[in-house]
């Protein structure tokens, strides 16, 4: 299975969680070998690698991310799945923080973000986006 966009039920479940506390989102990304843009998109004929398309997504979505109070907490390149299926190898992992769930929801609905997300869809083969709550230890 390939996961690039959330299913409607997943977004409903996200909205049902507390919305007035800061949230962190764990992102796991596997790139396509070659980006797959819609035929009518200006980048369709460029022959970009998936990683290149994803970098364009990050660059074009960064101002929107910042405008809604998002910030990158950590980013790295996974090296090995030590526990878990070998098929779940990732090219990029990062944790992003948002002031609250409403900021995240407003960002993904923003017209400028919606234009940037075409690069994400073109470059990502599969992904995981996991909302994380701080644990009481």
The beta-strand segments (E) located in 41-133 are 71-76, 92-98, 124-132
Residue 76: burial class (beta carbons within 10 Å; 0-12, 13-18, 19+): exposed
For domain 8-14+21-132, give the CATH number.
3.30.70.100
As a dihedral over the C-alpha atoms of residue 122, residue 97, residue 64, residue 123, rounded to 10 degrees, the angle is -10
pLDDT less than 70: residues of the chain: 1, 136-137
Kindly report the pTM of this predicted structure: 0.91
Structure confidence at residue 75 (pLDDT): 96
- Reported as a single tens digit per residue, the pLDDT across 88-103 is 889 999 999 999 999 9
């Amino acid at each position: 299975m390939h996961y690039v966009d959330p299913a409607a039920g997943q977004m409903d479940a996200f909205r049902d969680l507390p919305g007035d506390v800061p949230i962190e989102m764990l992102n796991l990304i596997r790139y396509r070998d070659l980006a797959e843009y819609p035929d009518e998109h200006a980048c369709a004929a460029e022959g970009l690698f998936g990683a290149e398309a994803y970098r364009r997504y990050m660059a074009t979505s960064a101002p929107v991310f910042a405008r809604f109070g998002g910030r990158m907490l950590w980013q790295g390149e996974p090296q090995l799945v030590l526990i878990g299926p070998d098929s779940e190898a990732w090219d990029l992992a990062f944790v992003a923080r948002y002031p609250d769930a409403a900021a995240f929801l407003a960002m993904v609905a923003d017209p400028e973000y919606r234009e940037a997300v075409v690069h994400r869809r073109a470059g990502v083969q599969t992904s995981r986006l996991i909302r994380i709550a701080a644990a009481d230890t």
